[in-house]
Amino acid sequence: MPEDSLTARVGKLDALRGRGIDPYPHIYEPTHRVPELVADNRDDLDVKVAGRIMASRKMGKVTFLDIVDKQARIQVLLRSDELGPVYDTLSLLDLGDFIGIEGVTFRTKTGQYSVKAKGLHVLAKSLQPLPDKWSGLKDPETRYSQRSLDLIANPEVAQVFIKRANAIKAMRQALDSRGYTEVEIPLLQPVYGGASAKPFITHVNDLDRDYFLSISPEIYLKRLVVGGLDVYTITKNFRNEGIDKTHNPEFTMMECYKAYEDYKGMMKLTEEMIAFMAMQVNGSTSLAYQGTQIELSPPWKRLPMLYGVEEATGLKADSMSEGQLKDAMKSRPDLVIPDYEVLTKGKIIIELFDKYVAPTLVQPIFVTDHPIESTPLCKPHRDNPELIERFEPYIAGVEIGNAYTELNDPILQRKLFEDQIRREGADNPYLKLDEQFLRALEHGMPPTGGLGIGVDRVVMLLANQPTLKDVLFFPMTKAAIR
């Protein structure tokens, strides 16, 4: 901010202290917070309220202030003949300062609910000016990196994060009511796993070894299922990859695991839980997302991945060998999949789906039965050994989760891990066998269904926000490091 503005505010700070006023007192005890008082809306109440000065209008020896507390605003009337020498303190206050007011509620001639001040207390002197009254705080990068100013200048932003809090509360309620136990997993892990992603690495000095920030809670949660618990966690994951409208290197994930269940049971849980969250957050299972009306009521449609690819491209990949699929791709210049010649059949199917099917999935839908190459942690499909019992829920073209009938055969699990290391180890030196997990499986894990939901992406939908950055208080941005 301009040096003269800072100098002026510091001068007022010194002047307050010169009058014996502490500009940063330890406590102030309101009788009402502003939202409660506005909701009460009764006249002739003796009140103590507090808030940030957001507007000031002086008319001779009368001043009107608007103060804001928790995104609610109320007008305060201060009169020189009522306050005496205290009224002169107003000359040392600026927009952005916090004050406490003792007074009585009343209505002005225009009917505006207000507080007539009998006392004034300075609670915090602001040394930085608020964003410009008219242009506000508009630059997205500045808004994300200076979220405190964003919340002051754009009060509607707070409503997004209130929806986020309510969505997570509803998610917990849905899982708690079904008998899941909420648990915590370590975010620093000696072996990383549970997903395919580039990890963040740190060093634990006392052990003199590298650890990984968690890319997924899956492995630890399955170990707890072995121990006899149906579990869930709402936790941070860290993936050292791209940043775009649906990706942030640090994000929030819910994962849950239930014994004696499969991926069909996880579908039922997903559609019921998301619909319940929508009702709790917005009061309806119908929502408008970026101009498109979406209905979240169960049941959601099911779409096997192979059928989706066939509908979009005409390729009947399920009846083709890998060579036949590659020959078909060669004859179809309209299907652009980079390096398909070196991909397996399953990887080609996944690439075709991601490019030509996923963006078209607007209404809620479960994409089921993925190629076996997509993960080593899922049970092979009971009807087709080339597939696995996996689904991903899509809404508005965005994948919001992932679920399996969990692999619980310890011998097969070890083999699939070893195959993955042979296949990908040259490009990913961090891949290692998780012997603790494998040993847990060898003690026996019951048939289990597992589900992961991207909390941030669901909140995007429920709050009608176009990018993940709008539902994270402090997303990762270039401006954040300046």
The answer, yes or no, to whether residue 420 has pLDDT greater than 50, is: yes
pTM across the whole model: 0.92
Q: What integer best gives the mean pLDDT of the chain?
A: 94
| Helix, strand, or coil (residue 140) | helix
| Helix, strand, or coil (residue 57) | strand
Q: Which two tokens stand for residue 320?
A: 């083709």
Q: What is the pLDDT of residues 356-399, one digit of tens each?
A: 999 999 999 999 999 999 999 999 999 999 999 999 999 999 99
What CATH number should be reported for the domain whose range is 3-130? 2.40.50.140
How do 113-124 and 72-79 pair as beta strands? parallel
DSSP-derived secondary structure letter, 263: H
Q: How confident is the model at residue 135 (pLDDT cuts 50, 70, 90)?
A: low
Backbone angles phi, psi at 471, to 5 degrees: -120, 5
The answer, yes or no, to whether residue 42 has pLDDT greater than 50, is: yes
The answer, yes or no, to whether residue 467 has pLDDT greater than 90, is: yes
Backbone angles phi, psi at 117, to 5 degrees: -75, 135
Q: Which residue has the tokens 């109440």?
A: 45
The answer, yes or no, to whether residue 311 has pLDDT greater than 70, is: yes
Average pLDDT over residues 62-86: 96
The 10 Å CB-count burial string (b at 16+, else e) for 88-116 is ebbebbbebbbbbbbbebeeeeeeebbbe
Average pLDDT over residues 218-247: 96
477: exposed, middle or buried (Cβ count in 10 Å: 0-12, 13-18, 19+): middle
The answer, yes or no, to whether residue 265 has pLDDT greater than 50, is: yes
Q: Which residue has the tokens 């492995």?
A: 219
Q: What is the pLDDT of residues 327-353, one digit of tens each?
A: 999 999 999 999 999 999 999 999 999
The answer, yes or no, to whether residue 17 has pLDDT greater than 60, is: yes
Q: How confident is the model at residue 2 (pLDDT cuts 50, 70, 90)?
A: low
Q: Residue 121 is inside which H or E element, if any?
A: strand 113-124
Average pLDDT over residues 398-422: 95
Q: What is the pLDDT of residues 142-176, one digit of tens each?
A: 889 889 988 988 889 999 999 999 999 999 999 99
Total residue length of the chain = 482
Residues 6+ apart with CB under 8 A from 283: none
Q: How confident is the model at residue 1 (pLDDT cuts 50, 70, 90)?
A: very low
* Percent of the chain whose predicted confidence (pLDDT) is above 70: 98
How do 286-289 and 292-295 pair as beta strands? antiparallel
Task: Tell me which residue of 468, 434, 464, 441 sits closest to 454, measured CA to CA.
Answer: 468
Amino acid at position 98, single letter: F
Q: Between residues 423 and 94, which one has the greater pLDDT?
A: 94
Domain parsing of the chain, residue ranges = 3-130, 156-300+363-481
Average pLDDT over residues 196-213: 94
Average pLDDT over residues 265-279: 98
Q: Say what the pLDDT of residue 131 is.
A: 79
* Percent of the chain whose predicted confidence (pLDDT) is above 90: 87
Q: In what order do the strands lie in the sheet with 188-189?
A: 188-189, 209-213, 201-204
298: exposed, middle or buried (Cβ count in 10 Å: 0-12, 13-18, 19+): middle
CA distance linking residue 231 with residue 180, whole number of Å: 5
Q: Say what the pLDDT of residue 136 is.
A: 60
Q: How big is the CA angle at 416 (ends 415 and 420), to the nearest 5 degrees?
A: 115
The CATH T-level fold of domain 156-300+363-481 is: BirA Bifunctional Protein; domain 2 (3.30.930)
Q: Residue 182 is inside which H or E element, if any?
A: strand 181-182
Maximum CA extent, the chain: 92
Q: Which two tokens stand for residue 213?
A: 């920030």
Q: How confident is the model at residue 482 (pLDDT cuts 50, 70, 90)?
A: low
